[in-house]
Homo-oligomer: A and B are copies of this chain.
Amino acid sequence: MIRVIILSKTENPMEVLYLAARTSRYVGDFDTQLKVKPKESEKEKLVRNLVKWGHLSILEHVSFVFGIEGISRVTSHQLVRHRLASYTQQSQRYASMKDNNLIIPPSIQRNSEALKIMKDIEKKTMDAYHKLCTLGIPMEDARYLLPHGLDTRIVMTMNMRELWNTCSVRLCTLSQWEILSLFEEVRKAVGTVSPFLASLLQAQCLHLGKCPEDTPCEVLISAKKA
């Protein structure tokens, strides 16, 4: 079960975005600028427009620190390819994997024969891992036989601009199911802080109004109906 919690975040995100957004045209100092106290709806309108116009840079001033657990190393390997973010991951060099579990894809969950094979491999590889450790093989080497589906934990800090970019790609239905689920959980977690900020995070087709891959799925079709 993927779990995403917010460990920390930039304080007062909407105030930061509004202030940054107005800095380029503002004539005056920060003290004066900070005295302006717009309504929430005004801040949201300004930010929404900037994002619509493609002026995304102000979104970089707000970051979230996520605690992510219950994802496989298949997915963490895909995740860390998003280079404009910071990651600290549970190490298979320094932490024993004895309490970690295998993530089982839905396609395998639904197929009893496949599930049996998978469970069997889980048991055999975990037993072998422990055996190697007992034989004095370092954990960092014993891990070479561990399956990719074994779960991991990771602290990820990502700013709102990169969240926007990453969600554009990873909330697309062409993503693999697990990383798509992960970013749905990331979006939900952002929503607990600010439903407005979460609403900016969408698959790219919803930003573009079309599927760049020319194979529109139901996400875009439903959006067009709505």
Query: Chain A interface secondary structure, helix, strand, loop or mixed?
Result: mixed
Chain B residues near A57 (CB, 8 Å)? 86, 88
A36-44, A138-146, A194-202, A216-224 - interface stretch: A138-146
In this complex, which of A25, A144, A209 has the most chain B Cβ atoms within 10 angstroms of its Cβ?
Answer: A144
Interface residue tally on A, bucketed by range = 35 or more
Contact status A76-B77, CB under 8 Å: yes
What per-residue 1/0 map shows which CB atoms of A168-206 lie under 8 Å from chain B?
010000001000000000000000000000000000100
Given A54-B204, A141-B108; A69-B29 close (CB under 8 Å): yes
Bound CA span A111–B137, Å: 9
A48 within 8 A of B: no
Contact status A141-B107, CB under 8 Å: yes
What per-residue 1/0 map shows which CB atoms of A68-112 lie under 8 Å from chain B?
010011101100110110111111111110110011110110010
Within 8 Å by CB of A60, from B86, B102, B104, lies: B86
Nearest CB in chain B to that of A82: its residue: B83
Contact status B8-A15, CB under 8 Å: yes
A159 within 8 A of B: yes
A16 within 8 A of B: yes
